[in-house]
Amino acid sequence: MSEIPSSNQLIDRFGRKVTYLRVSVTDRCDFRCQYCMAEDMTFLPRAQILTLEEIHFICRAFVELGVVKIRITGGEPLVRNGVLGLLRQLGRIDGLNELVMTTNASKLGRMATDIRQAGVKRVNISLDSLSKEKFRKITRTGHLETVLQGIQAARQAGFERIKINAVILKNRNHDEVVDLVRFAVDNDIDISFIEEMPLGMIDSHDRGEMYYSSDSIKHDLSAHFTLLPLLDTTGGPSVYFRVQGCETRVGFISPHSANFCASCNRVRLTAEGRLLLCLGNEHSLDLKRVVRANPGDMAVLKHAIIEAMTIKPERHEFNINEQPVIMRHMNATGG
């Protein structure tokens, strides 16, 4: 291996600084959302996924390299045994300013307080429908009531911010965007609408046919709410507005209609330990191999991570009307 680079920051070929790591702690999930997974999924064998200790070690390396924000996600992160212990350990890493999580909320009813006490500052919760039947159809196995209880538990647990994530599909839930914003306003939380991304083969619908753009959503909302543009961004793909008359923010994540790659500040660690440099490309580095070949060697791991920055692609090239070129599903990606 070449000499260890002196830079202690993660900067790619295009001058973008990586300060944000998303970590998928499992590819498994108790839901089977139609846009995320096929109904019949094969999950990774346990020996192939990173141990909690390995995840903690890799996260420490990233923080030492200037990462200030880590999002724990999956699959469904709360189905991973021992995840609370991991969160507590991550919450104690010096220099990590923001520990946040994305969850489907099915287990938040009983875990929200512990998660908050472990140091998780904010949570994103997936909620695509307020209709019991539609929710069931989209998630295939989920119960709306349990998720709504999870959201209330999160509100009581005192997170700094709670945000709903809703993937909107034409003729599936596009007629609910106004109700979903009203739900966010009533509960004093934020909401982001996400355009579906062509990740992995799915069997429920044609992604091109069901594409519903952020502009269409904005148009639907404009008859009911005044959305005031916000200048502050998270450095991420969301473009935010505030609903006039309240604190609720409405975000739009538009991988098709508004490319956001120029400001990309993030990389992803998959459950099997692959460092993904871009959501929409396969460029990656096998960090599990590095960690298992050099147990406890922080210098070697940091060197590998710094070198990986040289293969971070400039941008994604999603095309919703074509078969996916990215064969991994979102649950295996760390969305």
Q: Which residues bind ligand SF4 (CB under 6 A)?
A: 29, 31-33, 36-37, 74-76, 104, 126, 330-331
Q: Are 190 and 250 in contact (CB under 8 A)?
A: yes
| CB nearer to ligand SF4: pick between 19 and 24 | 24
CB of 298 to ligand SAM, least distance (A): 28
Interatomic CA distance for residues 208 and 300, integer angstroms: 44
List CB contacts of 319: < 8 A, sequence separation 6 or more.
198
Residue 243 Cβ, how far from ligand SF4 at the closest point, in Å? 25
- Smallest distance from ligand SF4 to CB 331, Å: 4
Alpha-carbon Rg for the chain, nearest whole angstrom, is 19
Give which of ligand SAM, ligand SF4, none residue 70 binds (C-beta under 5 to 8 Å, depending on kind): none
Which positions touch ligand SAM (CB under 6 A)?
29, 35-36, 73-74, 76, 102-104, 126, 165, 167, 194, 196-197, 199, 330-331, 335
Packing angle of the helix pair 83-91, 52-64 (nearest 10 deg):
20
- Smallest gap from residue 97 Cβ to ligand SAM (A): 21
Q: Which does 254 bind (CB under 5 to 8 A by kind): ligand SF4, ligand SAM, none?
A: none
Comparing CB distances to ligand SAM, the nearer of 142 and 273 is 142
Is 20 or 31 the residue whose CB approaches ligand SF4 more closely?
31
32 binds, options ligand SF4, ligand SAM, none, Cβ within 5 to 8 A by partner type = ligand SF4
Spell out a b/e string for 76-113, using b for 16 or more CB atoms within 10 Å of the CB, else e. Answer: bbbbbeebbebbebbbebeebebbbbbbbbbbbbebbe
Judged by CB, which is closer to ligand SAM: 271, or 308?
Answer: 271
Return d(Cα 105, Cα 125) in angstroms, integer: 6
Pair 263, 269: CB distance under 8 Å: no
> Which does residue 194 touch among ligand SF4, ligand SAM, none (CB within 5 to 8 A, set by kind)?
ligand SAM
Cα 197 to Cα 37, 167, 168, 202, 229, distances in angstroms: 12, 9, 11, 11, 24
What is the rounded CA–CA span in Å between residue 80 and residue 90? 15
196 binds, among ligand SAM, ligand SF4, none (CB under 5 to 8 A by kind): ligand SAM
